[in-house]
Structures are given as C-alpha cells and as structure tokens.
Amino acid sequence: MAKVLEGPGMGLLAKWGMPVPHYVVITEAAQLDALAKANPWLIESKLVAKAHEAIGSRMKLGLVKVGLDLDGAREAAKEMLGKAVSEVTISQVIISEMVDHQDEYYIAAQSTREGAELLLASMGGIEVEANWEKVRKLAISLGSEPTGTELEKLAKDAGFEGDLVGKVAQFAAKLYRCLDEEDGTYLEVNPLVLRASNGELTALDAVTMVDADARFRHPDWNFTFASEFGRPYSDNEKAILEIDTRVKGSVKFIEIPGGDTALLPAGGGASVYYSDAVLAMGGTLANYAEYSGDPPDWAVEALTEKVCSLKGIKRIIVGGAIANFTNVKKTFSGIIKGFRKAKAEGKMEGVSIWVRRGGPFEKEGLAAMKVLENEGFDIHVYDRYTPLTDIVDYSIKGVSA
Amino acid sequence: MSILTSKDTRVVIQGGPAGVNAARRMAEFCHLSRIPFNVSAFVFPPDAGKTVEIPCGSTLVSVPTFSTVEEATKADPGINTSLIYIGPSRAYDGTMEALKDPKIKLVSMITEGLPEKDAKKLRIESERLGKTFNGPSSIGIISAGEARLGVIGGSYDNLVLCKLHRQGSFGVITKSGGLSNEIMWICSQFANGITTAIGIGGDTYPGSDFSTYLEMFENDPQTHAVVMVGEMGGDLEEKAAAWFAAKKRRIQLIAVVSGYCQEELPKGMKFGHAGAKEGLHGEGSARAKAEALQKAGALVPATFGGLGPAIKKTYEALLAGGKLTTVAEDAVPQNLPKTIEEAIADGDVFVEPLVKSSICDDRGDEPYYSGYPASELINKGYQIPHVIGLLWDKRLITPVESEIVKRIVMLSADHGPCVSGALVTIIAACAGIQMAQSVAAGMIMIGPRFGGAVTGAGTWFKYAVENKLSVDDFLSYMKQNVGPVPGIGHRVKSLRNPDKRVKELVIFVKSQKISTPHLDFALAVEEKTTAKKDTLILNVDGTMAAVLVDLGFKVEALNGFFILSRTIGLIGHWIDQNQQGSRLIRLFKYLANYVAPKKREVPPL
C-alpha cells in the first residue's frame, strides 16, 4: 500500500471520469500569474491553498487557507512554501477552486480479501466519522462488476433520494473501476459534493492509496509515494528508502523522536516483536528499523549509522530470529563497521548494545560482534540459546543474564 | 505423518538462480533425512533443454530444465508440487500455469512484491480448482524428516539443532520466515520438535491461511498442538480463533500476536510485513486478535518470550495425559559431506599439492610478491623494475639496478614495424585477429635470430668470465663448440653505423659504481670481432645480457627482459592498426620469387 498525494490522486479520479475541482500544483508562488493566464478559473473562482505534503492536521497548522482570490492564493503560497513544519520543508502547494455546494457526502472503495467493497454515506466531512454506523457497504467479489441495481440500492440504503440515487450509483461505479484498474487499495472521497453550478457530483478531497508493488504495470504513474504516518519522510529515512530500492533484500528505517531505545533488528516479523517487547518493558522507541533477505553489508552499515545517530538513545537492540538464508557474519560485519564509525564520531557515549541472533554463520558473526567488548563498547552478545526478546528485558532492567 | 508435503512430494521449481539455490538447500535436507532428492525439474525457459547439477550428499544429481510446467509433469508424472521463484511481474502467469496443471496439487510462492490483486486472484483460482496456494512471500514449508520446500530451516547446522530429520508433535504456522525458524528451534528445545512448519508469508492477502492449515493439522494424528504466530492487520487470526472455537478440537492451539506497539505509535506508521497494518478504523489490532484467540480457548502468552514456557507446558501436559510418550532420539544425524576446502580447513585430509610456487602468494587479501604485499610496495614508492626483481629473481633490487632495468625496458620497448615480431603482429591485426592472439603471434618470432639471444649471450659471457677465459680462448672455444657468438653481430648496424641504444646503455652502466666484469668482457670480445668484420658488433641483446648478468640476474631470466619490453611495442602496433582501421595485408606477387616446378599434368592414380 502506498499513499498518493492529493494532486496525483485527483488526477487518477479524473482519469476514470470522476469530476474533480480545477487544481494546480505549484513550487513557487510566482508561477500562479502565468497559470492564471491559461486557467481562467484561477481568476473567476474563490480558491483554496493547501500545503501539498504528507502532513497530518494541515488545517490546525494553518496549512489550509480557504476563500481566497488570486492575490490571496499567491500570498498563502508564498507564506507556506519553504516553511519548516516539524523538520519538513514545504516544497509544493496545491491551489484548487472552491466548489459551490450545499450538502456533503462520503464515498470510499477499498480492496478486501474477497475483492473490494464500496462504502457510502449521505453525510460527509467530519460528520461521517462521528456517524460511522450510518455508512452502508457493498461487497464486490473479485472479477465481478457491481450492477446498476446493486449500486442504486446501496445509494438508497445510505439515504440518497431522487435523481441523486442515479448520480451516486454512477459515481460509485466509476470509483470502483478506478480502484480495480489502478491497483488501488483504498480510495476515499470526502466530501463528495453536488456542484451547484451544474448539478454534477464532484470529488472535493480524496485519500488515494495504491499498491506500490503493481507499479510495473502502470507506466503512467509518474508520482512518488508519500509517507502514510502524518508527516513526510525525513532525510535520514529517505536515504535508507533510496538504498532499499536498490538492494537485494530490504532495509527499513523510521525515526520516532524522543525515544530511549533504538532498534536494529533483522526480519519483518521479529522486528515487531522487538518493538512490542520494548514497550512492554516500559521503554520508549526511538525508531523502527529492520533488515532482511540477506542485504549487502554496506546497506546494513548505512542503516547502522542512521540508528547510531538517533538523538538521546540509551540502548540499541540488535535482535533477530534464526535466519534462514541471511548471512549473519556478513550482515554483522556491516553493523560492526557502522558501530566503529559511530564510536569514532563520539556517538556511542552512554549507549549500550544488546545482540541476539542465529542463522547461517552465526558463530562467526557473534564472535566478531564480541570483539567489540575489547574496544570499549558497552556490548552484550547472546546466541540462539537466549530467547528472542529476552535481550530487551535485560537491556531495560539493566541485568545481564 | 505431516501435512501438505511428505515423502511422496515431488517438486518442480519455476524460476532461475534463486530456485537453483533452493534446490541445493532441499538436497541438504534430503541428505539429513536419508530420503531421495525430491526436485524433479526446473521450469526456466531461457535454460530449457539444459540440466542443473545439484549436490546430493557426495554425488551430483542432474535435474532437467523445461520451458513449461506441462513438459515437466510429462517428464515426471510424479510431480505434485510447484515452487514459484519467478519475479513479481511474471509470477502470476507462472503460478496460474502450475495451478492449471492437473498433476500439481500444491503451489508455494516465494516471490516477494506480488501485487495484491494478483495474490487475491490466485487464491480464488486455487480454491476453485481445489488446490493449495501458499504465499506469496513464503519462506517455504517443511515436514520434519519428509520434505522441505524452499530454504525454510536455514543452514544445515540449524536443521540438525532443530531435529528436523524426524517428526515431532507440533505444527507451526507463521507469516514471518525468520520466526518460523525460531519456533522450530523453540519446539525442539522445549518439546519434541515439529511435524510440519508453514510460512504463509507476510503479505496483505496470503493464499491459504491459518484456518485452512489448522483444519489440516486437526486431521493429522501426529500433530498434537499447533503454534501460530500472528500479526496485527487483516482478520486471519480472528478467523483462526473462530475456527478453533467452532467445535471441540483435537489439537491444542498456542498463539502469539505482534503489533501492540501500534497502540503507542503514530497512526499509520508501517511496521514489518506488508500485511501488518491496522485498518483505518482500528480493525485487526494485535490486542483484538489476542483476545479473540484467548476467548476461543487458545493458549496466548502475553509476549513472544512466553512462547517457550507455553510450549513446554503443553508438551508436558501431553506427556502426562498419555497422549505422547518420549522416544529415544535416533542416532546423531549424518553430517553434510564437507567440501574439500572445508575438510582441509578442519585438518581432516591431506592433499598433495599439484603445483609449487615460490614467488607469489595470493591467499591473503592481496598478492605478496616474494613476501612483500603489493600495496605496501606501491605506497613505499617502489617501481615496476622492483616487481620484476621480486618475481624473476626473488630479491629487492637496489635503486641503481632498478634504474638500469628501467632503461633496458625503455630502450627495447619497440623497434619499428619492420622487425619480424612487429610485422607479424601488424599482419595479424590487419587480419582482424584480437589483441592477445596478435601479440602472441609477434612474440612467437622471438628466437635466436630476433630478440631471443639474450639468454644465450648471457650464458656464454658468464661461462667465459667464470672460467677466466681470455677473449681469444673464448672465441676459439665458441667457434669449435657452439658456433657464432650470441649477442655479437647485427643485420644493419656496424662500427660505422653504431647502435645508439647500446652506446647509451654502456655509458650509463659504466658511469655507475658497480662492478661489470661481464660487460667489460663483452666489449673486449667486440673489439676483437669488429676487427675481423665491421658488423660483428656487440648488439643490444649481447649488451643487455652482459649487463643483466653483472646485476646478478639468472641467465634463465634474461630473454624475459626482451619479451617483456617488446610486448609494450607489439601491443602498441596492434592498437595502432586497429585505430587506423587497417585492411587485410596480402603480399604482392612481385615480392614472391616463384621457383616451384612449372604446370604439369597429373598422372592417373
């Protein structure tokens, strides 16, 4: 699953015949003047300016401005562009027309194990969250198309009346098609409104998530994916993401400022058990990280450097289950290099390291790690005979078994 | 007994090198379990018609490669299982092909990054066909002592430690590959090991899931309990709980779920596997899953750490209840045959070496020339002549010696296109022959008449000096026993038209504070021979030979100085001809003197 920002998300809806407001994405406020010459709506309509970044609660942060004229939009864009919001610099602003409307509705399509489902409510905006039980659903099994009758029934059940029933059913059919054809995993239009000027259902705002793994069959996906956790990726995260796309296996890294325990575990499954164990023991996570699939040692080294650079950490958990084919000696050599570099840069002061691992070449890997004991590291090395997450208990209780 | 895969399993592996690696791992397991190798075929169109050799114990088994599954199952109708090692963009088609083959009952997909929609379609199609589709992103399936599909179980040492050569009583189902290994290890430490372990993969929509496999385990009398490792996201754990609670089950269920951390972390932050994500409205949380499983009667330790004791408790209860009895362990499983390298490293065998080398050792991280690391020589300012000294004479030559060697190499690097070596290289280059062969052709010309007299000259000058012969005695000895003196005489050079290279070399060597008995002797010889005939000068071969013997080089090495130097020129000629785009050279007829008999009739046979 991968999130697509508003601009390209709107583009996907429009591609499949769903009306969306006019919009432009700009990187400099001055671009608006040239755009206004080609797009009369920028002059004729009231405008909305929003920071075009994966930042949560944009409204609260003052990153959404409504009811603007062109000058107001230019001012808003100028103010937002280049502004730093929680370590992220805003680099794009989306300017869209305000669509004159009365009622707001909610519609979504999401992928399910059996196929997909459509979700529909005759109320939109934040009201739908508060009245979630009023949302009506229609399951669509894989490979089939919802019939007009089914869609109209869904609309009626959700409380739509009159000619709106047919309009909503048609919009729903398009939304489903878009989900199916674009390998969508979740498409949410909230609010969906009736444009007063022409009586057309229009998607005012959209959450768009697609299956990143399907990229190979969508050559027209010219967008990059945005983060899904309410803030854009940091530079450190981007650096590891970039490595991840290039190497065999995987390396993952997400920062969580303020935590006392850094994770450097192996395996998508084990890493989550390590995260759980840290919290269960009363620790706080400084990051999430994971490497798996026998990545090259230099990639693990790069990940290690990022982990060691986390501010305010007291301990690093180098955990892992018994690998199937990841070479413990080779991946550990990357970690060891990273540790040595971090120590030379003075980053390991007051940081303890806790290691537990098994798998191919485990003896050699663990022995190499143990050598760090003699180099002034506060390091504790355990083998397969110590249960997986016990090192977390030892590290936080400060007891070495 | 076991589920999904057994001693009757025969496998086709679809895909390239990763599949071959898996086959090797599977062969190791077959060796451990003393069962026949169960991979019958590969399907990999680029290599169709070839065979792949897989080490099984101490032998190699040839496995044929086909371009379609149909060809594979036709060649071995016993094939009933396919493993998918195909890249994500083609994995769907390959899997469909396997599912549709009437012989194939189980398809397990190792491929990661398959689009969700493709995975969904494959699951639905497999259900329609009444087949099992495991994965995507599955580490594999293993039935202890019976069959291994994929690399699940890891290294051979781990297979032994986890007692995977014989059946235990615990079934294992995990999404994570690493954790499947961990659970097998725990089951062997805290209980009697596993029956079958299945990695279902961590994708959002796995094929066959927990409930399907639980039902199979329920029907396997050997399996008494199942360990299930779940994750936040989706509803497969809830479905497993519903299955377990639906009626009284023979098997016991021990389950853990990960993802409690999601409660305290920023919403939407993605952890671990693709499928490990809560719904947008909080569905599929770890806590909800654990509670559902607990309510259904499963043993659910609060943390992963509680799994070992829970498995131990279950095992002991099974023993106490008479459901299981402890059995004496079989003899220690057989070792994997060592490779010759491993055996040598462990001191198990002695191998008589085939080759002895006394100049260069490449067993470290760089070559050592006569004991000196190449990088250290570079960093300490040594030059090519020193390397020549080390590799040809096993010694670090002095700066003066190095300078002389350098000058010799520079003076003999080339002598124009007309000499036989260069001419042959040029002819070869013009015939479109590659560099190595063209240069070698030129080098074949080096012999007694062209450049190859250095060793000969050195040998005889050394003989004369060692035996303190006078010049006259030497010349008459040579005349009687050897013939013309090597290193004396030139085709075009003479006293009046001296060879400047010789002159320069002699002047430089004589200006150095070194003893030069051989050069002095050679010059004395020249004095005598040129008195007889103008062209009987000390030529460049003879001069090099005398000087190099004075420097202490062995006579065997001497021709090497000319060969090495002239290679520089020959390579230059080859490059030169290629850059000019020269055409094929053919000798003009007027340059050939035809003296063969005139045309005549061939007599009848």
CATH number at residue A302: 3.40.50.261
A173, two tokens: 């059919």
Is residue A338 located within the same domain as residue A379?
yes
Among the listed residues B482, B488, B487, B431, the one whose alpha carbon sits nearest the alpha carbon of residue B454: B487
CB contact under 8 Å between B182 and A256, yes or no, is: no
- Give yes or no for B290 touching A (CB within 8 A): no
Among the listed residues B448, B539, B471, B533, the one whose alpha carbon sits nearest the alpha carbon of residue B501: B539
pLDDT (mean) for B4-29: 96
- Give yes or no for B202 touching A (CB within 8 A): yes
DSSP conformation class of A207: E
pLDDT (mean) for B231-249: 94
CATH number of the domain residue A53 falls in: 3.30.1490.20
CB contact under 8 Å between B304 and A277, yes or no, is: yes
- Using CB atoms, which residue from B178, B185, B273 is nearest to A320? B178
* Chain B residues closer than 8 Å to A358 by CB: 158, 181-182, 185
Is residue A269 located within the same domain as residue A201?
no
d(C-alpha B529, C-alpha B526), whole Å: 5
Contacts of B199 (CB under 8 A, 6+ apart): B138, B139, B140, B141, B150, B152, B174, B175, B176, B177, B180
Give the pLDDT score at B269. 67
In a domain, A222, yes or no: no
* Chain B residues closer than 8 Å to A1 by CB: 204, 274, 277
Only one residue has tokens 């340059």, namely B591
Is residue A253 located within the same domain as residue A276?
yes
* Chain B residues closer than 8 Å to A322 by CB: 154, 158, 178, 181-182, 185
d(C-alpha A66, C-alpha B303), whole Å: 49
Q: What value does the mean pLDDT of chain B take?
A: 94
Is residue A131 located within the same domain as residue A27?
no
CB contact under 8 Å between A228 and B181, yes or no, is: no
Last residue of some domain: A32, A64, A97? A97
d(C-alpha A268, C-alpha A252), whole Å: 9
In a domain, A10, yes or no: no
DSSP-based three-state secondary structure for A8: helix
What domain range includes position A125?
104-217
B370, two tokens: 């006569």
pLDDT (mean) for B459-469: 96
Residue B197 has pLDDT above 70, yes or no: yes
Residue B14 has pLDDT above 70, yes or no: yes
Q: What is the pTM of this model?
A: 0.82
| pLDDT-based confidence at residue B263 (cuts at 50, 70, 90) | confident
Number of domains within chain A:
3
pLDDT (mean) for A13-29: 96
Residue B99 has pLDDT above 90, yes or no: yes
Q: How big is chain A, counted in residues? A: 401
pLDDT (mean) for B46-67: 96
Is residue A61 located within the same domain as residue A144?
no
Contacts of A55 (CB under 8 A, 6+ apart): A61, A63, A85, A86, A88, A90, A230, A231, A232
For residues A245 and B44, which has the higher predicted lDDT (pLDDT)? Answer: B44
What amino acid is encoded at B24 in this protein?
Answer: R
Among the listed residues A170, A128, A175, the one whose alpha carbon sits nearest the alpha carbon of residue A147: A170
Q: What backbone torsions phi and psi does residue B206 show, to the nearest 5 degrees?
A: -70, 160
In a domain, A12, yes or no: no
Residue B415 has pLDDT above 50, yes or no: yes
Last residue of some domain: A66, A97, A128? A97
Among the listed residues A103, B453, A371, A387, the one whose alpha carbon sits nearest the alpha carbon of residue A379: A371
- Helix runs in A193-296, H state only: 235-246, 268-280
Is residue A205 located within the same domain as residue A71?
no
Report B:246-265 residues touching A (Cβ under 8 A): 256, 258-261, 264-265
Is residue A213 located within the same domain as residue A242?
no
With a threshold of 0.85, tell me whether the complex ipTM lies above it.
Answer: yes
DSSP-based three-state secondary structure for B520: helix
* Chain B residues closer than 8 Å to A230 by CB: 266-268
Q: Is A268 exposed, middle or buried (0-12, 13-18, 19+ CB in 10 A)?
A: buried
Residue B568 has pLDDT above 80, yes or no: yes
Among the listed residues B240, B232, B238, the one whose alpha carbon sits nearest the alpha carbon of residue B213: B240
pLDDT (mean) for B494-511: 92
pLDDT tens digit string along B16-28?
999 999 999 999 9
What amino acid is encoded at A196 in this protein?
Answer: A
- Using CB atoms, which residue from B25, B114, B308 is nearest to A213? B114
Percentage of chain B lying above the pLDDT 90 cut: 85
In a domain, A13, yes or no: no
In a domain, A253, yes or no: yes
Residue of A nearest to B117 (CA): A183
B373, two tokens: 């690391």
Is residue A280 located within the same domain as residue A375?
yes
d(C-alpha A108, C-alpha A189), whole Å: 6
Separation in Å, CA of B271 to nearest CA in chain A: 7
- Cα distance from N-terminal residue to C-terminal residue, chain A: 41
CB contact under 8 Å between A115 and B120, yes or no, is: yes
Percentage of chain A lying above the pLDDT 90 cut: 85
**How much helix, strand and coil, in percent to the nearest 5, is found in chain B?**
45, 15, 40
In a domain, A226, yes or no: no
Residue B379 has pLDDT above 50, yes or no: yes
Only one residue has tokens 């002592």, namely B145
Strand partners, A209: A3, A186
Give the pLDDT score at B536. 94
Is residue A368 located within the same domain as residue A388?
yes
Q: What value does the mean pLDDT of chain A take?
A: 93
Among the listed residues B308, B217, B220, the one whose alpha carbon sits nearest the alpha carbon of residue B256: B308
Sheet hosting strand A64-68, strand order edge to edge: A23-26, A93-97, A47-51, A64-68
Give the pLDDT score at B325. 86
Cβ–Cβ under 8 Å, residues A262 and A200: no
Is residue A127 located within the same domain as residue A65?
no
- Using CB atoms, which residue from B152, B155, B303 is nearest to A276? B303
Give the pLDDT score at B124. 95
Q: Is A35 exposed, middle or buried (0-12, 13-18, 19+ CB in 10 A)?
A: middle
| pLDDT-based confidence at residue B279 (cuts at 50, 70, 90) | low
Among the listed residues B38, B28, B26, B8, the one whose alpha carbon sits nearest the alpha carbon of residue B151: B26
pLDDT tens digit string along A130-163?
888 999 999 999 989 999 999 999 999 999 999 9
The Cα angle at residue B381 between residues B375 and B385, in degrees rounded to 5: 90
The β-bridge relationship of strands B11-15 and B81-85 is parallel
pLDDT tens digit string along A65-81?
999 999 999 999 999 99
Containing B524, the helix (H) or strand (E) segment is: helix B517-532
In a domain, A381, yes or no: yes
Contacts of B503-509 spanning 24+ positions with Cβ under 8 A: B504/B407, B504/B411, B505/B407, B505/B408, B505/B411, B505/B540, B505/B543, B505/B544, B505/B547, B506/B543, B508/B404, B508/B407, B509/B404, B509/B547, B509/B550
Among the listed residues B70, B101, B71, B97, the one whose alpha carbon sits nearest the alpha carbon of residue B86: B97
pLDDT (mean) for B450-460: 92
Separation in Å, CA of B241 to nearest CA in chain A: 18
pLDDT tens digit string along A320-367?
999 999 999 999 999 999 999 999 999 999 999 999 999 999 999 999
Last residue of some domain: A97, A129, A157? A97
pLDDT (mean) for B125-142: 96
CATH number of the domain residue A135 falls in: 3.30.470.20
Residue A400 has pLDDT above 60, yes or no: no
Is residue A203 located within the same domain as residue A244?
no
Cβ–Cβ under 8 Å, residues B296 and B244: yes
- Give yes or no for A323 touching B (CB within 8 A): yes
Cβ–Cβ under 8 Å, residues A57 and A50: no
Is residue A277 located within the same domain as residue A378?
yes
Point out the residues of B that are catalytic: 273
In a domain, A123, yes or no: yes
Containing B70, the helix (H) or strand (E) segment is: helix B69-75
- Helix runs in A39-162, H state only: 41-44, 70-80, 127-130, 148-157
* Chain A residues closer than 8 Å to B205 by CB: 113
Residue B242 has pLDDT above 60, yes or no: yes
| pLDDT-based confidence at residue A54 (cuts at 50, 70, 90) | confident
For residues A196 and B262, which has the higher predicted lDDT (pLDDT)? Answer: A196
Residue B594 has pLDDT above 80, yes or no: yes
